[in-house]
Amino acid sequence: MLKAVSLAVLVLLVYVILPGATPRSEAQAEKPAYPNMAGVDQYLIPGQDAEVALARSAAPKSISDGAEVMVLGQDGYRTAVKGTNGFMCLVERGWGAATTEAEFWNPKVRSPICFNAAAARSFVPIYLMKTRLALAGKSKEEMARAISSAFDSRELPTLESGAMCYMTSRQQYLSDSGKSWHPHLMFFVPGDVAKDWGANLPGSPVMAANDPEERATIFMVWVGNWSDGTPASQGMH
């Protein structure tokens, strides 16, 4: 604690004694890697067939072969393949995360997801709205306000019971640090309910993330195999 206080005092003295001075190493350490949206082209995948295949890799073929598939273009997502089983597959970009996430604008993020019918109807609209806002050049703050307003006005639907998705693509790139992480399922529950499930407590096998912007808690369940049937490592990636 003493060391931390001393450092804070030292930084304050630098600013007082040398107006305009900046603690270079600290400024460099805190500089975000992705402060702004990159050019739209950096988020696109060349070739519709390639994006369709990547999106379908989110779930086993028994599910994804009959799913609707959406692909990202300059103006947003559009349906490239009509579905027959109620599932919807697409490749999320970094702005699928909360606006507070450091890699929100990371153009390398490619997250193949297959949503079941309940999630396609009631959770996917949030992501599609965020995509439209991002492509319209809105800031993260503007996007967060717009999403909140859309919930309040009921422009965005209420999350349906049983909403879930598959994220079991071996090709997923979730972040620079997590990369492919681990094949998993996600279950969407309204509100901040992680504690009700005992999630994230010491020794608990339940993992969850509360996202107040999407007004939901996302429970994550690891599975043993990737969508192509190959086994996954049990360690963290």
140-191 tens-digit pLDDT: 999 999 999 999 999 999 999 999 999 999 999 999 998 999 999 999 999 9
Q: Is the pLDDT reported for residue 12 higher than 80?
A: no
Average pLDDT of 40-55? 97
* Residue ranges covered by each domain of the chain: 42-222
Rounded to 10°, the helix 124-135/140-152 angle is: 140
Residue 197's pLDDT band (boundaries 50, 70, 90)?
very high
Q: Give 173's contacts (C-beta < 8 A, 6+ positions apart).
A: 108, 109, 110, 111, 179, 180
Query: pLDDT class for 123, splitting at 50, 70, 90?
Result: very high
Phi (first) and psi of residue 2, to 5 degrees? -60, -40
